[in-house]
Amino acid sequence: MNYDHYANLRFTEDYHLFLFYSIGPKGNLKKIVAYTELKNLPGSFNLGFGTLKTARDGSEYVDDNEISDNNDRNKLLATIALTVYAFTNKYPYKKIYLRGNDKIRTRLYQMAINHAYVELSENFIILGDKAEIAGTYDLHPFERGINYTGFLVQKKLSGL
């Protein structure tokens, strides 16, 4: 992947959590990418993304609604994509599902997939979800020009 991304990526041993800092005019914002197993879609993990914040009591929580507007959108998306490559290299038979928490974010994910589609489609099987209700799935082979409510990606395995 030849896109500018954050190199300060740290991750847990099981590759389920990735941490890095978004650096820009709003400061150094601690970002997290989390992979959690989906019970209703066997073999699949949800990709969650947000800003790691500290509550008044000192505990940390993920804010996945914040628009940090740190002038690094493309760098953030490339770093998230890098975690997808890392996760699927560790778990080649697992699938990753991503859906924005609103239509605008889902559209942003779709634009990123469209932008890098040639490279992504060489490495991944990409499905688009047309289900309107979160937690239900209506998956189809990804096609440019069709709006989706979510996406499922799986690493292409050699010899298949």
DSSP label at 131?
A: -
Question: What is the per-residue pLDDT across 116-152, written as a single tens digit (0 to 9) for each?
Answer: 999 999 999 999 999 998 889 999 999 999 999 999 9
User: Residue 140: inside a domain, yes or no?
Assistant: yes
Q: Which residues have a Cβ under 8 Å from the Cβ of 75 and sit 6 or more positions away?
A: 3, 4, 5, 6, 22
**Residue whose entry in the numeric block shows the structure tokens 């690094």:** 72
Question: What's the pTM value of the predicted model, to 2 decimals?
Answer: 0.91
Alpha-carbon distance 17 to 11, whole Å?
A: 6
Question: What is the per-residue pLDDT across 122-131, written as a single tens digit (0 to 9) for each?
Answer: 999 999 999 9
Domain assignment of residue 20, given as a range: 10-155
Looking at the DSSP assignment, which residues form a beta bridge with residue 10?
A: 19
User: Residue 4: inside a domain, yes or no?
Assistant: no
User: Residue 77: inside a domain, yes or no?
Assistant: yes
Angle CA 20–142–72, to nearest 5? 25
Q: What share of the chain in percent tops pLDDT 70? A: 98
User: Residue 3: inside a domain, yes or no?
Assistant: no
Count how many domains the chain has: 1
Tell me the residue type at 106.
T
User: Residue 101: inside a domain, yes or no?
Assistant: yes
DSSP label at 7?
A: S
Q: Which residues have a Cβ under 8 Å from the Cβ of 59 and sit 6 or more positions away?
A: none
Q: Note the residue count of the chain.
A: 160
